[in-house]
Structure 1
């Protein structure tokens, strides 16, 4: 299948569930915020996957297998060889297409966004796995609609892969430095308005990643509403490039995916995001005076 959309519905997935070329991936990571504040604790979603997942799904460990273990930052892309090796071991390659979901697993926060799924989808597309989509509403929507779960541990034969890395999809710290003074580039902060006001990269604008879907149904808002959210920032201007960023390069991939889905192809994700930017004293930050 060469025409898979970037986002598929639960109905679409159920109709294609038994396609032998389909690979379903659970990419859940649990992000838990301490009661007294501070950085979130990250936990793998493997145990939750084993308790119940969509039939045919395999688990992709973003914490252990799909992040650079040698990086000082919690999430950055691993080496291409390592990423491709892990993907093909899961059975994902040239003759397959992939649908990724997660559990909207931001514990303690009410945000409807499949940002872990979009993170893995972005990494896959960055490495040249182009036939990939995310499931709208994730596992929560699937279960709310009384669609079944399985505890069967799925495996697939190892696959072959011949795609090429799309370097234009990843932005570095130096790319962001240049973008601050480039009117043809939109720097898009994907965090909440409060976090944006507290600290952001100069010249950047803000579209909250958690404002694109209904918190109860997990369904995306109508395209007109999504378009309106981005248009006022200039991010949908076809003559401009967009660099999305957030705290650690996760939520930024959700905004990037939605921009692509709205017809803006010129989007890169700043992988290091504020974790990297704020740790470098030479990088300017606009901070709230409050």
Structure 2
């Protein structure tokens, strides 16, 4: 059995006992202190986990290798697949991704693996705290270098995730029958009352606001599919789920909204990875507030 959306801590423990082909990725990160994720990984992680850093591994460092602009540009699919190969991941593996920030960052890797054609990837529901709650094995300290794999998961003709470009978003702006934008940032940032990260405050005209944190219960796990469905139905107000394009500040925290829609049975929507940080970089693009 493979997992393609969520996996519980108990289910992950069973996979480890059965010695299934598996790789666990620790995506912990702190936007305010970019090196803190590495420190957290060294202090405590799920035993056997591989480090997946938002800046170094899940974003393009070289603009020539980037798919989009913005604060966390996606690397080209081939470049990302090369990193997966270097850390030993191959097409026959189950991937499990987690963090310790309420799934704020790990769903980015979940989406990226779909994007290169790998369906068997799941988010550890509840993250590291859920693993600790069942006393799953943990480790600390430096990690031994990985053995590269010879069977990369990249399938050039297979796209299991939809990527919207800035041109796509602008072309369909205010065409509600073709595009429904959902912004995952906090309400004050969406309204343009404050902007701690980007040079311009506000949002893309016509966008709806659903903070990504609304997808989780008090225990840090995703809400039930029924509850998520009711909340998204209310937000969409009759708009077709197939028209949804998720975004946020830099294409990271939009992904929990995307996964939540899938859990709700509303299909796999598109991601505008450049998000607000790319959109607001051009003063010719319109900005809304309120």
Q: Report the TM-score, using the length of structure 1 for normalisation.
A: 0.85
C-alpha distance in 2 between matches for 1:59 and 1:65: 9
Residue in structure 2 matched with residue 176 of structure 1 by the alignment: 169
Change (3 A) 1:8 1:236: farther
Matching residue within 117, 134, 144 for 2:133: 144
Over residues 156-195 of structure 1, what are the superposed CA-to-partner deviations in whole Å (9 max), with x where a residue is unaligned?
A: 5514125235286111111111232322321111112222
Alignment pair present for 1:202 and 2:191: no
Change (3 A) 1:4 1:167: closer
C-alpha distance in 2 between matches for 1:101 and 1:6: 12
Cα deviation for residue 75 of structure 1 reads: 0.5
Cα deviation for residue 44 of structure 1 reads: 5.2
C-alpha distance in 2 between matches for 1:20 and 1:225: 32
Over residues 26-77 of structure 1, what are the superposed CA-to-partner deviations in whole Å (9 max), with x where a residue is unaligned?
A: 1111123xxxxxxxx4335222212221122111222112311134632011
Cα deviation for residue 261 of structure 1 reads: 2.2
Matching residue within 190, 199, 202 for 2:184: 190
Tell whether the 8 Å contact from 1:185 to 1:242 is kept in structure 2 after alignment. yes
Over residues 233-267 of structure 1, what are the superposed CA-to-partner deviations in whole Å (9 max), with x where a residue is unaligned?
A: 32896563210011111111111111122223341
RMSD over aligned Cα, in angstroms?
Answer: 2.2
Residue in structure 1 matched with residue 159 of structure 2 by the alignment: 166
SS in structure 2 opposite 1:88? Answer: helix
Moved over 6 A (4+): none
Q: Which runs of 5+ in 2 are unaligned?
A: 64-68, 193-201
The count of residues paired between Structure 1 and Structure 2 equals 270
Residue in structure 2 matched with residue 4 of structure 1 by the alignment: 3
C-alpha distance in 2 between matches for 1:236 and 1:150: 48
Q: Which runs of 5+ in 1 are unaligned?
A: 33-40, 105-112
Task: Within 5 Å, give how 1:242-281 maps onto structure 2.
Answer: 242-281=244-283
C-alpha distance in 1 between matches for 2:225 and 2:286: 35
Residue in structure 1 matched with residue 13 of structure 2 by the alignment: 14
Matching residue within 105, 114, 118 for 1:129: 118
Residue in structure 2 matched with residue 61 of structure 1 by the alignment: 53
Cα deviation for residue 5 of structure 1 reads: 3.2
C-alpha distance in 1 between matches for 2:13 and 2:151: 26
More displaced stretch, 162-171 vs 194-203: 162-171
SS in structure 1 opposite 2:256? Answer: helix
Residue in structure 1 matched with residue 222 of structure 2 by the alignment: 220
Question: Quick check: which one's strand share is greater?
Answer: 1
Change (3 A) 1:143 1:236: farther
Q: Report the TM-score, using the length of structure 2 for normalisation.
A: 0.85
Change (3 A) 1:266 1:144: closer
